[in-house]
């Protein structure tokens, strides 16, 4: 940040990051295996010094997580924090040659992407041109080919496969829950100060139309006035239009 972008404040040099375990590795086959995958990924995040952490639920390859799956995800974090001991020191992997080598390699490969994206005119242009989407799609395709050829092992998917798996009990949203939520939303809209909501949304619109304005405080203000996500999003759609993914080949 200092050398490349000229940051001067000490806080600008701090690296704070949140980690969410990978949805990319969750499988619908033998979903309980996902608990182990998530645990390994969560431990890696803690070993890497993450400031906050989200652990995926084991059934998310099927549906929104059930209460049981959410509790297991929570307990995964708690066991790592309370029982593993890896959070007792600041840098438990400090001095590891292998980790330092991986870090250097990751940095080198990341800078290759940064330079290519800058050549395109920045991240927005890269997205508009479909470059980011194409790289993600190509990565997924190459991994799928490795799995199908057996060059990469996915337990329960291409090795140790079970032909007759028991069905998983997944979360199902009932019609009653839908009706309750709709009624709650209707009650909020009836009880809120509609003039305050309208003012907040109009202020948000003006902020969005100003290229130099930070819109986040205006979004927070609209939320505090009980504007809905749809109402806030509609302002953005009216100002910026609706994003359509470019066709990638």
Which pair of tokens denotes residue 25?
A: 């590795």
Which pair of tokens denotes residue 204?
A: 């948000």
Q: What pLDDT score was predicted for residue 94?
A: 87
- pLDDT tens digits, residue range 20-76? 999 999 999 999 999 999 999 999 999 999 999 999 999 999 999 999 999 999 999
pLDDT surpassing 90 at residue 18: yes
- Greatest CA separation for the chain: 62
- Between CA 47 and CA 94 the distance in angstroms is 10
User: What is the residue-wise DSSP string for 58-70?
Assistant: TTTTTSSPPHHHH
Question: Reduced to 3 states, what is the DSSP secondary structure of residue 133?
Answer: helix
Q: Cβ neighbours of residue 54 under 8 Å, at least 6 residues apart?
A: 18, 19, 20, 21
Helix (H) or strand (E) holding 53: strand 52-54
Helix (H) or strand (E) holding 37: helix 33-47
If one counts every other C-beta atom within 10 angstroms of the C-beta of residue 150, the result is 9
- pLDDT tens digits, residue range 191-248? 999 999 999 999 999 999 999 999 999 999 999 999 999 999 999 999 999 988 888 7
If one counts every other C-beta atom within 10 angstroms of the C-beta of residue 186, the result is 10
Domains of the chain by residue range: 2-84, 175-240
182 near 50, Cβ under 8 Å?
no
Q: How confident is the model at residue 182 (pLDDT cuts 50, 70, 90)?
A: very high
Per the prediction, the chain carries an average pLDDT of 94
pTM, rounded to two decimals: 0.81
23 near 34, Cβ under 8 Å?
no
Q: What pLDDT score was predicted for residue 89?
A: 87
Which pair of tokens denotes residue 36?
A: 């182990």
């Amino acid at each position: 940040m200092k050398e490349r972008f000229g940051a001067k404040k000490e806080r600008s040099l701090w690296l704070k990051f949140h980690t969410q375990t990978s949805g990319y590795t969750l499988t619908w086959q033998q979903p309980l295996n996902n608990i182990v995958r998530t645990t390994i990924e969560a431990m890696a995040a803690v070993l890497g010094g993450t400031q906050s952490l989200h652990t995926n639920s084991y059934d998310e390859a099927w549906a929104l997580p059930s209460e049981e799956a959410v509790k297991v995800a929570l307990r995964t974090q708690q066991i790592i924090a309370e029982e593993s001991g890896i959070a007792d020191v600041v840098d438990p992997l400090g001095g590891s040659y292998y980790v330092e080598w991986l870090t250097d390699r990751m940095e080198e490969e990341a800078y290759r992407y940064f330079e290519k994206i800058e050549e395109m005119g920045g991240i927005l242009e890269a997205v508009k041109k479909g470059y980011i989407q194409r790289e993600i799609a190509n990565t997924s395709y190459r991994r799928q080919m490795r799995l199908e050829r057996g060059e990469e092992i996915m337990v329960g998917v291409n090795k140790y496969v079970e032909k007759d798996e028991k069905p998983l009990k997944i979360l199902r949203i009932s019609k009653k829950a839908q009706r309750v939520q709709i009624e709650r939303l209707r009650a909020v809209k009836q009880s809120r100060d509609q003039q305050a909501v309208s003012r907040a949304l109009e202020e948000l619109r003006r902020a969005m139309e100003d290229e130099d304005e930070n819109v986040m405080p205006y979004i927070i203000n609209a939320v505090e006035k009980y504007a809905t996500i749809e109402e806030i999003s509609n302002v953005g759609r009216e100002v910026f239009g609706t994003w359509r993914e470019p066709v990638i080949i």
